[in-house]
Amino acid sequence: MEHKFSKEPNYTPAILLLEDGTVYHGKAAGKIGTTTGEICFNTGMTGYQEIFTDPSYFGQLLVTTNAHIGNYGTKTSEVESSSIKIAGLICKNFTIQYSREQADDDIQDYFEKEGLVGISDVDTRAIVRHIRDKGAMNAIISSEILDIAALKKQLAKVPSMDGLELASKVSTTEPYLIGDPAAKHKVAVLDFGTKRNILECMAERGCYLKVFPAKTGLAELQAFNPDGFFFSNGPGDPAAMDYAITTAKEILQQEKPIFGICLGHQLLALALDIPTYKMFNGHRGINHPVKNLLTGHCEITSQNHGFAVDPQAIKANDQVEITHVNLNDETIEGIRVKGKKAFSVQYHPEAAPGPHDARYLFDDFIKMMQ
Ligand SMILES: NC(=O)CC[C@H](N)C(=O)O
């Protein structure tokens, strides 16, 4: 096994500037450059590469509360999509020294190849406390421009996540197939930025999947003759996705099983005229407790979202039932449509990484197609 311990440590200074003017000084991590996006934090203690490649993070600067990034290297197979999707990384310790036999690369090489700009050696606990008090906001990281006034100018041009349509930017451009063509169930997947492990959870349960670009209309989806429809996770504001809300409404008329995860859950709600809202701070981590109201059981879940569905609108809507709630803040975690085979969850039952408590939801979807 080749360790790259001999590499010179990188001491290029870097700056993180938040929209409210707060400045943090640290060291460059990854590519030397400048990057912008909405700052958010994930509290997961493992699975950094899966997080970096999760398309739902597109347009976001990620703060990892796990103090060590890079210590188990990177591996080409441990990805949720074909490339890094976060817009930048903010971490405490960024190390090129990894101690995993199976790793393919160190994190610095990986970031350089993927063109990702980051900052390390900043007080991530202080940053998290700051954004937890002040709410979601935009930020800029730079290891090439160290002039605050110039960075402020560039940051001012970054659009707010509220109202931003991003799913079509990470969706597949061409349809593709996954699984065994002879499998029992055919699922039409609307790809708004799907995580690979979600598709695998369905394929390994006997589904043959056709994954379609975000803007595919009903006729093309129907041509696959699916037994069920799946609405994927993805980045951006669901309310800005008129095209997907229209298609979801049409799919609801088909009387075929529907399953939605995260952005897909929000789109199912919007198709039922339940609005979404931007949260003060999102949920991102792998230990979020959720109560299943149908069974009374609690499950520990993996989450990554900054928007949520409006609880009051659901309570006023006699078509929809709440199936899951978050035990930390009582936000809506799952819904189902009364009298139809359609349900969705705000969290990530594939949990890659994370606890597998919620994988039964894939089995529920399969049962619905039987
Ligand atoms: N993981 C997701 O699908 C995220 C959905 C949406 N972009 C949000 O932030 O709430």
pLDDT at res. 54: 98
For 130, the token pair is 């700051």
* Residue type for position 175: P
334 is in an annotated binding site: no
**Cβ(262) – ligand 1 distance below 6 Å:** yes
CA distances from 181 to 107, 110, 177, 208, 223 (A): 37, 35, 9, 6, 15
**CB 305 near ligand 1, within 6 Å:** yes
The CB of 235 under 6 Å from ligand 1? The reply is yes
Which structure tokens are listed for 316? 């006023």
236 ligand 1 Cβ < 6 A:
yes
Residue 35, SS3? strand
User: What is the predicted pLDDT for the residue at 3?
Assistant: 42
Instruction: Tell me the torsion sign for CA atoms 159, 161, 162, 166.
Output: positive
Cα 99 → chain centroid: 27
Q: Is 142 flagged in the annotation as binding?
A: no
Report which secondary-structure segment, H or E, holds 291. strand 276-292
Tokens standing for residue 151: 């960075």
Residues across the chain: 370
Q: Is 304 in the pocket of ligand 1 (CB under 6 A)?
A: yes
Ligand 1 mutation target, pool 40, 57, 61, 262, most atoms within 8 A of CB = 262
- Residue with CA closest to ligand 1 atom 7: 235
Residue with tokens 């039952």: 349
Residue 306 is assigned to a ligand binding site? yes
138 Cα to the center of ligand 1, angstroms: 16
Q: Tell which atom from ligand 1 comes closest to the C-alpha of 232.
A: 3
Catalytic residues: 262, 348, 350
* C-alpha closest to that of 289 among 245, 254, 325: 325
DSSP 259-288: EEETHHHHHHHHHTT--EEEEEEEEEEEEE
Task: Say how many Å lie between the CA of residue 127 and the centre of ligand 1.
Answer: 22
Q: Does the beta carbon of 346 lie inside 6 Å of ligand 1?
A: no
CA–centroid distance, residue 83 to ligand 1 (Å)? 18
Give the integer Cα–Cα distance in Å for 38 and 54.
15
Instruction: Report which of 205, 203, 254 is spatially closest to residue 227, judged by C-alpha positions.
Output: 254
User: Which tokens go with 256?
Assistant: 């075929």
Q: Any known ligand binding at 312?
A: no
CA of 305 to the centre of ligand 1 (A): 4
What topology is assigned to 13-156 in CATH? Glucose Oxidase; domain 1 (3.50.30)
Model pLDDT, residue 10: 54
Domain ranges of the chain: 13-156, 167-369
Helices 263-271, 242-252: crossing angle, 10 deg rounding = 70
Per-residue confidence (pLDDT) for residue 28, from 0 to 100: 97
Nearest to 198 by CA among 85, 302, 47: 302
Contact 233 CB / ligand 1 (< 6 Å): yes
CA-proximal residue: ligand 1, atom 4 (nearest): 305
Contact criterion met (CB below 8 Å) for 336 and 324: no
Q: Note the CATH number of domain 167-369.
A: 3.40.50.880
Tell me: is residue 307 an annotated ligand-binding position.
yes
ipTM at complex level: 0.98
Nearest to 256 by CA among 218, 216, 229, 225: 229
**Three-state secondary structure along 206-229?**
CEEEEEEECCCCHHHHHCCCCCEE
Tokens of 170: 């990470």
Pocket test for ligand 1, best of 307, 309, 332, 346 (most atoms within 8 A of CB): 307
Site to probe by mutation for ligand 1, drawn from 191, 192, 233 as the one with most ligand atoms within 8 Å of Cβ, is 233
- What pLDDT is stored for residue 353 in this prediction? 87
Task: Work out which ligand 1 atom sits closest to the CA atom of 303.
Answer: 1
pTM: 0.96
Q: What pLDDT does residue 7 have?
A: 56
Ligand 1: distance of its center to the CA of 11 in Å? 35
> Given this model, what pLDDT does residue 11 score?
83
Order of strands across the sheet with 342-345? 176-178, 207-213, 185-191, 228-231, 258-261, 342-345, 332-337, 320-326, 276-292, 298-309
**Which numbered atom of ligand 1 lies nearest the CA of 276?**
10
Burial of 319 (0-12, 13-18, 19+ CB in 10 A): middle
Tens-binned pLDDT, residue by residue, of the chain (370 aa): 444 444 555 589 999 999 999 999 999 999 999 999 999 999 999 999 999 999 999 999 999 999 999 999 999 999 999 999 999 999 999 999 999 999 999 999 999 999 999 999 999 999 999 999 999 999 999 999 999 999 999 999 999 999 999 999 999 999 999 999 999 999 999 999 999 999 999 999 999 999 999 999 999 999 999 999 999 999 999 999 999 999 999 999 999 999 999 999 999 999 999 999 999 999 999 999 999 999 999 999 999 999 999 999 999 999 999 999 999 999 999 999 999 999 999 999 999 889 999 999 999 999 999 9
Give the number of other CB atoms < 10 A from CB of residue 154.
14
Integer Cα distance of 131 and 136 in angstroms: 6
Give 235 Cα–ligand 1 centroid separation in angstroms.
5
